[in-house]
Every structure is written in C-alpha cells, then in structure tokens.
Structure 1
Amino acid sequence: MTTDYRKQLLYLSALIMDMCVGIVLFAIPLFLIERLHASAFIIGLTGSLGALGYSLFCLGTGRLSDKLGRKKVVTIGLGIFISAYFLIPFVRSLFPVFILVILGGIGMSMFWPPLQAWVAESTEKKRLIESLGIFNISWSVGLMLGSLLGGILFPLGSGVPFYFAVGQTVVLLLIILQLSEVQKRPLPEELKTADENILIDKTSFLFIAWMANFVSWFIVIMLRNLFPVLAVNLEISPRVLGVLIFLIYFSQTGMFILLRRFRGWHYRIGPLLFCQGLASIGLIIGFFTSSILLFGISFILMGVSGGMTYFSSIFYSLDSLSAKGKKTGFHESILGTGALLGPLFGGLAARYYNLRAPYLLGLILLICAMLLEVVIYHNAKTVNRRKRKNL
C-alpha cells in the first residue's frame, strides 16, 4: 500500500468517524428528553460521562498504540463504539445510558490518538501542516454532516440516528482492516537531541494551545449538550437545531482551510487571542438573544475559535520527531477533559440558575484562560531573553 493511498483512507476514516460521532452526539440529548424526560442536568451529566471515559483512556491509548501498533488499537476501539451505540435505543432507564456512553467514549479514545499518530507517521515532517490541515478538515466535515443528518434522522424515530451511525461505523471498520501499518525507523541520535532542544523553546506554546483547546471544548460540548434544551423551550425544530450546530463545524472547517494555507500564525499568540476574543463575543450574543439568526452568528464565532485552538494544539503536539502517540494522547485527553467538565458544570449552572447561565460560565472561563495565556507567554519571553544574554 502506498503512503498517499494510506493517508487518503485515514482522512476518509476521520470523516466517517466524526460523522457518526456527530449523529450520536446530536441524538443523545433529544433521545433523553423524548424517551426518558431527562432534565438539563441529567443531559449535561450524560455528556460528561462520555467525555470521562474518553479523556481518561486517551492518556494511555496513544502510548499503547506506540507499542502494539495503530491498527490493532483502532480496531478494538471501533468494536467497542459499535456495541455501545447499537444498544442505546433499547434502554428504558438512565443508568444503562450512562454505562453505554462511557463505553462509547472509551471506544473513541482508542480511535483518535492512534489515528492522528498514524497520519503523522505517514507524512514527511515538512508536509506535516498540510497533512494535519486535510485531516482536520476531514473530521470537521464529518461533524458538519453528522449534525445535519442527526436533524434529518431523529424525526424518523429516536433510534434511527443510532442505527445509521452504527452501520456507517461498520463500514469504517472494514476500511481500517484494509490499512497497513507504517514501518517505524529508529531516529538518529543527533535528530533526537536536536528535537529535544527545540521542544524546550516550544513548550510554552504547547501549554498555551492545550489550555485554549481545553476551554474551547469545554464551551462547545457544553453548549452542544445543553442548547437542545433551550431550543426545545424556544420551539426550535430538530432540523433547525441541526443547522445551527452545523454552523459551528462549518466555520471551524473554514478556519482549518485558512490555517493550512497560511503559516504566519505558527508560534504567535496574537492570532490565538483574536480568535478567542471572537468566541467571547459569540457567548455574549448567545446569552442575550432568542433569535435563530443571532444564535447562528454566535455559533459561527465559536467555531472559528475552536478551529484555531484545535489546530494549534495538534500541530504543537506533533511538531516533533518522536512519541507521537503519547503526545496525541495528551492532546486528546486535555480536550476530552474540557468536554467532560463543560456539560457537567454547564448542567449545574442551568439547573440552579437558568438555561442561559452556561453562556456566562463559558465567558468567565474564557476570559480567565486568555489572561493566563498572556502571563505564560510573557514569562516565556522573559526566560528566553535571559538565555540569550547568557549565551
């Protein structure tokens, strides 16, 4: 199998997987409301449990795939994901749903870090940003399609989205079984040393990107889980809801296309802070409005910020020569932790205050993160100046 053909199938795999994830993430809150009459807190808790399984296991699955191989770990993960979401339409109480979404999160944790490392291993270092751009566009388009399909499929029956997603995941499993592993070659010692020296200077940007991406996923997954409750209260139909969520990933995909083409944002804090500022404006709009149009603008602004933070996080995690599975594991675990805490704390805010409170919570967290990012950046600049003086 040629390297280019393998990469094309990996990109396709990312698209199919997140299309399926987008469908089930769209369907679960509505399923809980329709079938089990769940509150906003329970819906938020359910989203957090899935993220808990994901974030905890991501810490080990990337490293595990470094040892056992990408294909084996990804295949097991898909099997778990298929089993979990096939069973959800059959449950009649909350506890089995909790268990199954945790298993679904574990399945995803065995898919994404190994797949990202697989893409990076199939790419020359000088073409990493190009490959990551196509990869990011692929999974983001998948989420766009998933959001739209969820809005179309759910009115046909609350179990239909899950069956459709499971069927597509089976197709994905067949694709993965056709792929070959990348033959690993030991790095020359001089390259290892050079890479370590570079990473010392890049560490501050990696921490900043991880923090920014944590906050983005905290906010986006919180709203993705809880906005359907507000939408029901505002009498927004499932199809319109699907289009609104689609706009998050549409704008995110647009950012991935721009970031792939332009390199001026590498290791600069200004573009990151600007995009986070746009997300702040989006949260303020969402807090005050009941207009579908303004909700759409709000989601677009948050999608732009999410595209910037995710691309920064994965690029800085993989812009090195070794332990790619381990580093993508940390990258995914951090965003998974954001996805865990967002619905949980957002659900509490909605329960004890109102359905608009999660927007205010996200805004406060985002402003605090931006201030801390500036502090880390300026401290790193001070340390680097001192190092140069001592040379």
Structure 2
Amino acid sequence: MNRALLLVNITGLIIGISYGLHGPILPIFAKNVIGATYSELGLIGLTNFIPYMFIPLFVGVLLDRINNGYLLALGAVVNSVSVYLLSIAQSVPEIMGFRIMTGIAHAFFWPPCESIISNESDEKNRVKSISWFTMFFVIGFMVGPLLGTVFLDEFDFTYRILFQITAFILAAAIITALLVTRRSIKNHHQRFSFSSIKEMKKFPEVIILLIFCTSSFGIILTIYPAFLNDNGMTATDILLLYFVFGISRVLSLALAGKFSRKTSQTLIAATMAVSIGLAISVVADSFMMFAVALVLMGFGFSIFFPLTLEIILSKTRKEISGKIIGAYETVFGIGWAIGPTIGGPITQSFGDETPYLLFCVIGIGIVILAIISRNKLEPQRVLN
C-alpha cells in the first residue's frame, strides 16, 4: 500500500469514527431534546442528503483539476464546523441548516477519496483498494458508537458535549487530508457538463439497485435510531447495535475481493439480505432480533458500494473517471434523500413499522429484477 492510499485510509478511519460517534445519537437528540416528530426527522435526513444530489457532479469536475487532498481537507473543515454547531442547536430548523453543511462536506469527502484510490490502483486491485478504504471508514463507524457509550455512561457527558468531541476528532482529518498527494492531475481544462449523467444512463440496472440500497440505508441512518428508541432500546443499546452493524460491514468488506469474483450473485444476495433485515425489523421485539436485522443489512449495504463502483469504472474511459465518480455519488445522494423523505411522513402517518415493511416489499421486486438482469451486473474483466 503506497503513501497516498495509506493516508486516505487513515482519513476514512478518522471520519468514520466521528460519524459513528454522533450519527446514531443525532435522531435521539432531535426527538428527545429538541422535540422533533418523525416527519421532522425525515426532513432533517433530507436536508443532510439533498446537497449530495448535486454537489458531487461539480466535485467530479474538480477532481481532474485540483489536488484531491485539498478538496478532501475542505470537506473535513466544513464537516467539523457543522457537527460542532449541532452542540448549540435549539430547534429543528437549526439542525436542518447544520445538516445541509454536513451534506456539502460529505460531497468533498467520498468522491476525492474514490478518485485518489482509482488513480493509485491498477484495474486488477481496484475493488480491493476501494474495499480497504471503505473498511477503514466502517471500522471507524464501528468504533465510534463504542466511544459514545463510554462518554455517555462512564463520563456522563451530554449529547451536546458529544457533538463537540466529535468535531475535534473530525478536525484531525484535515491534517491527513493535506498530506495526501496525487501522482498527476489531468484534463486541467475540463468544464462542467452533464455528460457524466449520460454515461451513467448506460447502467440502469445498477442505478435501480443503488437507489433501493441507498434509500433503505438513508432510513437506517436517519430514522431507525428513533424507531429503536421507541421500541425500548436505550441510547447505549442503540450505540451497541450500530457497533454490531459495523462489525457486519467490516467483515463483508474484508471479503469483498472474493465476492467480486461472482459480482451479480453477490449483489442479488445483498439485496435479499437488506430485505430480510427490514422484515425482521418489523417484528423485532428484543436487542438480539434487532442485532440480527442490522447484521444482515450491514452485509447488504457494505458490499453494494465496491462492487457497483467497479462495474461502472470497468466500463468507463479512464479520462472521465472523475466525472463518473461524481455522477455515481449523485445517485447515492438521490437514494439517501428518497429514504428519509418517504420514511419520515409514512412513519408519522401509518406507524413505526410501515417504512420497513414497504421497503422490504420493494426489495423483493428488486431481487427479481437483479436475477433477470444478472448478466448486466458483471464488471468488464481484466484479462491476464
């Protein structure tokens, strides 16, 4: 592993810790301290993900023109400030405003990391490199909740102090990001265009799977913690459940290289795992049942990312990889925004379990589509 990849992985680890430390607690803070309804939790999630529907397209152009480490550092700065501001929030609109900043920051985190990894890896090792980076991020996301339980239980910190600690941890990522370099910056004179969107239209089956996966993931990140709280789970229980979620994700990513040999079958299995996890959530009434649901969903959500990105990059010209990564991440933003937008109001109107039942049914349909389209869910293999 070269220096750039190592620094990107360390940056991902730091940011993962910060996300795991405050992410599962934010919905509980908003519901119990600020007084947010489920509909408002959905809006908070929506404002977090809306910037990610558009900004990655512009970042994708910058990736081929500006040192990616600088873009990554900018994302870390904005992210750190946005999380610190949560500690002084007094209303739902304030939280929404600060989450918009977080969404913008995230657009300057993931695409630059993907670009650096893509440029520093050959085609044979790209899935492995992307999986390692994602695994470092997820390890951080797994450790973060454990730290949260220590801060809340052992030190008796408030949620607001937890957000401040998270902001300082995030600030450490600025240093590692600035140390990242890229071997070359090509296509200095590229201008923004929507050609990358046209390129993405070549992969309709991948887009459909991604939108289902990210929509479901968006609900799990923004509404599920409050759902767990209403079903008898304490803040500590919820952080431990997300630790279990993280373990599942890490193990899945560690095996991503092997899974990539049978890409279409793995994506079908991942979609089934998410659907089953959502179904279990509907009937779960104990810590163990929720843990099983999150283990299944952890596998599905994690394995989607490296495999679908590899399908697209393997069939895309190298010189437009930055733009394609931006367009790919925009699809993520669309899915993440759809989940909370649908999940919040449905929960408020029809009951806590409804969104998970709905997405379970949709998932079954997606599984059937994936089986029918399995030949299109394979990357272009590199021959020896």
What's the TM-score once normalised by structure 2's chain length? 0.87
Change in CA separation of 1:209 and 1:136 when aligned onto 2, cut-off 3 Å: farther
Structure 2 distance, partners of 1:343, 1:167, is 28
**2:25 touches 2:235 (CA, 8 Å); kept in 1?**
no
Matched residue type, 1:296: A
Correspondence list, 1:113-262, <5 A: 113-154=111-152, 156-184=157-185, 206-262=203-259
Matched, 1:323 2:324: no
Q: Distance in 2 between matches of 1:248 and 1:335?
A: 20
Aligned length: 361
Whichever residue aligns with residue 43 of structure 2, its letter is L
Question: Structure 2 matches for 1:1-391, cutoff 5 A?
Answer: 4-154=2-152, 156-184=157-185, 206-266=203-263, 269-319=264-314, 320=316, 321-377=318-374
The farther-off stretch of 338-347 and 311-320 is 311-320
Cα deviation, 1:163-222, whole Å, max 9, x if unaligned, reads 122111111101112222322468xxxxxxxxxxxxx9x986x54333223212211220
Q: Do the aligned partners of residues 278 and 314 (structure 1) sit closer, same or farther apart at CA in structure 2, a change above 3 Å counting?
A: same
Distance in 1 (alpha carbons) for counterparts of 2:243 and 2:204: 29
Question: By how many angstroms is 1:104 displaced?
Answer: 0.9
Question: More displaced, 169-178 or 223-232?
Answer: 223-232
Counterparts of 2:310 and 2:23, CA distance in 1: 26
Once the two structures are TM-superposed, the CA of residue 376 in structure 1 deviates from its matched residue by 4.3
Looking at structure 2, the residues matched to 92 and 147 of structure 1 have their Cα atoms a distance apart, in angstroms, of: 24
State the AA in 1 paired with 2:294.
F
Q: Distance in 2 between matches of 1:374 and 1:261?
A: 20
Write out per-residue CA displacement over residues 276-333 of structure 1, whole angstroms, 9 at most, x where no aligned residue: 1122222211111212111111111111111221121222233342322212212222
TM-align CA RMSD:
2.3
1:15-35 CA deviation, whole Å, 9 max, x = no partner?
111221222322211221232
Residues 121, 20 of structure 1: CA spacing in aligned structure 2 closer, same or farther, 3 A cutoff? same
Asked whether the 8 Å contact 2:4–2:116 carries over to 1, the reply is no
Percent of counterpart pairs with the same letter? Answer: 19
Query: Is the Cα–Cα contact under 8 Å of residues 313 and 331 in structure 1 kept in the other structure?
Result: no
> Gapped runs of 5+ residues in structure 2?
188-198, 378-384
| Offset at residue 160 of structure 1 (A) | 2.1
| Structure-2 separation of matches of 1:184 and 1:156 | 45
Q: Call closer, same or farther: CA 1:324–1:148 in 2, change over 3 Å.
A: farther
- Higher helix proportion (structure 1 or 2): 1
Amino acid at match of 2:338: L
Q: Shift of the alpha carbon at 1:273? A: 1.2
